[in-house]
Amino acid sequence: MRAMPVSSNPMARNETAKKTDDAYELVADNRKARHDFFVEEALECGLALTGTEVKSLRAHRVNLRDSYARIKNGEAFLQGVHIAAYAPAGQFSHAETRPRKVLMHRREIDRWWGRARERGYSIIPLKIYFRGGRAKVELALAKGKHLYDKREALARKATRREVERELKGRNR
């Protein structure tokens, strides 16, 4: 005769359930990018980092403002990302704003390079996060907004907020 488990609940047996593949730990978010650009397409890419850069990322000491990606000699690089120096490393820490290599497939690099060059798009980072212990960056192929586009978006957001406030007030 076979012994039955103490609990018939399958989740109770596996208390150490692992995280799902789509779970990630957000490090930095470039919220201003969605205000300044129309995002056409987004892509998750890996980052080639040094050890002290990873330690600083885990401490959330990164700034994505005014950063962009540049494709040079068939390789993609992240420019203008400020990752603060890791203090315990002392003089052996990294340069804070050095170009960092982005790990993309050749076809993706070629396609994005063509679109950014011909149609006036920019490649910008939207967020940096850890997925499965590896640092990832979400890059976006984006087109810059004009001032009137930004004003229109702000007006739309304010109107939506007022409508929600009115509906919430009526429900009380």
Tens of pLDDT, residue by residue over 113-157, are 988 887 778 999 999 999 998 999 999 999 888 888 889 989 999
DSSP of 58-114, one letter per residue? Answer: HTT-EE-TT-EEEEETTEEEEES-EE---GGGGGGS--TT--EEEE--HHHHHHHHH
Flag whether 168 is in a domain: no
Domain-embedded: residue 96: yes
In a domain, 10, yes or no: no
CATH of the domain at 118: 2.40.280.10
- Nearest partner of 140 among 160, 107, 115, judged by Cα: 115
Question: Is 159 within a domain?
Answer: no
User: Is residue 64 one of the residues assigned to a domain?
Assistant: yes
Q: Which residue has the higher pLDDT, 119 or 20?
A: 119
The pTM (predicted TM-score) of the whole model is: 0.74
Q: Is residue 18 part of a domain?
A: no
Nearest to 130 by CA among 28, 51, 34, 32: 28
Residue 7 lies in a domain: no
Q: Which pLDDT score is estimated for 121? A: 87
State the DSSP code for 132.
Answer: T
Number of domains in the chain: 1
Domain residues for 75? 23-146
φ, ψ of residue 170 to 5 degrees: the values are -70, -30
Q: At residue 20, does pLDDT exceed 80?
A: no
Q: Is residue 157 assigned to a domain?
A: no
Nearby residues of 154 by Cβ (< 8 Å), 6 or more positions away: none
